[in-house]
Amino acid sequence: MGIAFGVLGLVTMYASLYGAKERPELAQEASLPLGQALKETYLNKSFLTYVIPAMLIQYTFVALQAVIPFYTKYVLNASEFETTVFLGAMFVTAIPLAAV
Protein backbone atom coordinates (compact mmCIF):
# COMPACT_ATOMS: atom_id res chain seq x y z
CA MET A 1 0.00 0.00 0.00
CA GLY A 2 2.89 2.34 0.86
CA ILE A 3 4.50 1.56 -2.48
CA ALA A 4 1.20 2.02 -4.37
CA PHE A 5 0.62 5.47 -2.85
CA GLY A 6 4.29 6.37 -3.35
CA VAL A 7 4.07 5.49 -7.05
CA LEU A 8 0.82 7.45 -7.40
CA GLY A 9 2.45 10.49 -5.79
CA LEU A 10 5.51 10.09 -7.99
CA VAL A 11 3.58 9.86 -11.25
CA THR A 12 1.29 12.82 -10.53
CA MET A 13 4.11 15.11 -9.34
CA TYR A 14 6.26 14.41 -12.40
CA ALA A 15 3.21 14.78 -14.64
CA SER A 16 2.51 18.22 -13.14
CA LEU A 17 5.88 19.46 -14.37
CA TYR A 18 4.52 19.21 -17.93
CA GLY A 19 2.01 21.89 -17.00
CA ALA A 20 4.56 24.04 -15.18
CA LYS A 21 6.82 26.67 -16.58
CA GLU A 22 9.21 29.09 -14.99
CA ARG A 23 9.73 32.68 -15.96
CA PRO A 24 13.48 33.21 -15.92
CA GLU A 25 13.11 36.98 -15.55
CA LEU A 26 11.76 36.51 -12.00
CA ALA A 27 15.02 34.91 -10.95
CA GLN A 28 16.87 38.08 -11.97
CA GLU A 29 15.71 39.98 -8.89
CA ALA A 30 18.09 39.61 -5.98
CA SER A 31 16.39 37.89 -3.05
CA LEU A 32 16.62 39.00 0.55
CA PRO A 33 19.30 37.54 2.79
CA LEU A 34 17.87 34.99 5.25
CA GLY A 35 18.23 37.13 8.37
CA GLN A 36 16.51 40.11 6.80
CA ALA A 37 13.78 37.92 5.28
CA LEU A 38 12.99 36.48 8.73
CA LYS A 39 13.04 39.94 10.31
CA GLU A 40 10.73 41.42 7.67
CA THR A 41 8.38 38.45 8.04
CA TYR A 42 8.10 38.40 11.82
CA LEU A 43 7.83 42.17 12.16
CA ASN A 44 5.07 42.30 9.57
CA LYS A 45 1.79 43.02 11.40
CA SER A 46 -0.50 41.76 8.64
CA PHE A 47 1.46 38.54 8.48
CA LEU A 48 1.28 38.02 12.24
CA THR A 49 -2.46 38.70 12.28
CA TYR A 50 -2.86 36.09 9.59
CA VAL A 51 -0.44 33.48 10.82
CA ILE A 52 -1.81 32.93 14.34
CA PRO A 53 -5.37 31.91 13.30
CA ALA A 54 -3.89 30.03 10.34
CA MET A 55 -1.68 28.05 12.70
CA LEU A 56 -4.59 27.28 15.01
CA ILE A 57 -6.70 26.06 12.08
CA GLN A 58 -3.85 23.88 10.85
CA TYR A 59 -3.36 22.49 14.34
CA THR A 60 -7.04 21.62 14.66
CA PHE A 61 -7.14 19.82 11.34
CA VAL A 62 -3.93 17.90 11.91
CA ALA A 63 -4.94 16.83 15.43
CA LEU A 64 -8.40 15.83 14.27
CA GLN A 65 -7.04 13.90 11.34
CA ALA A 66 -4.49 11.96 13.37
CA VAL A 67 -7.22 10.93 15.84
CA ILE A 68 -9.61 9.53 13.20
CA PRO A 69 -8.08 6.01 12.96
CA PHE A 70 -8.13 5.68 16.77
CA TYR A 71 -11.66 7.07 16.95
CA THR A 72 -13.09 4.70 14.36
CA LYS A 73 -11.36 1.70 15.91
CA TYR A 74 -11.91 2.25 19.63
CA VAL A 75 -15.01 4.45 19.82
CA LEU A 76 -16.99 3.30 16.79
CA ASN A 77 -15.57 -0.25 16.90
CA ALA A 78 -15.37 -0.08 13.13
CA SER A 79 -13.33 -2.48 11.01
CA GLU A 80 -10.44 -1.27 8.82
CA PHE A 81 -12.71 -1.41 5.79
CA GLU A 82 -15.32 0.73 7.54
CA THR A 83 -12.59 3.24 8.46
CA THR A 84 -11.71 3.46 4.78
CA VAL A 85 -15.36 4.08 3.93
CA PHE A 86 -15.48 6.76 6.64
CA LEU A 87 -12.43 8.57 5.23
CA GLY A 88 -13.71 8.09 1.68
CA ALA A 89 -17.00 9.73 2.63
CA MET A 90 -15.08 12.76 3.98
CA PHE A 91 -13.08 12.95 0.77
CA VAL A 92 -16.14 12.75 -1.47
CA THR A 93 -17.88 15.44 0.60
CA ALA A 94 -14.87 17.71 0.25
CA ILE A 95 -14.73 17.56 -3.57
CA PRO A 96 -17.84 19.68 -4.37
CA LEU A 97 -16.92 22.05 -1.51
CA ALA A 98 -13.65 22.88 -3.29
CA ALA A 99 -15.76 24.75 -5.82
CA VAL A 100 -17.31 26.99 -3.14
Partner 1 sequence: MSKLRDFIYSLGSFSASILGQTVTTFAIYYYVDVLKVPTKMISLVMLFYGIWNAINDPLFGQISDTTRTKWWRRIPYVAGFTLPLCIAFALLWMPPYPAGAEKSLFIWYFIVIFLFDGLFTIVVLNWTALFPEMSTRRQGTGFRLKAGTRYHRADFRGRPASGSG
Q: Is 8 in the site for partner 1 (CB under 8 A)?
A: yes
Q: Is 73 in the site for partner 1 (CB under 8 A)?
A: yes
Decide if 57 contacts 67 (C-beta within 8 A). no
- The torsion angle over the Cα atoms of residues 85, 58, 31 and 27, rounded to 10 degrees, is 20
Identify the three-state secondary structure at position 54. Answer: helix
Q: Is 81 in the site for partner 1 (CB under 8 A)?
A: no
Cα(61)–Cα(68) distance, integer angstroms: 11
Q: Is 48 in the site for partner 1 (CB under 8 A)?
A: no
Residues found near partner 1 in the complex (CB under 8 A): 1-3, 5-24, 26-27, 29, 31-32, 34, 37-38, 40-41, 44, 46-47, 54, 58, 62, 65-66, 68-70, 73, 87, 98-99
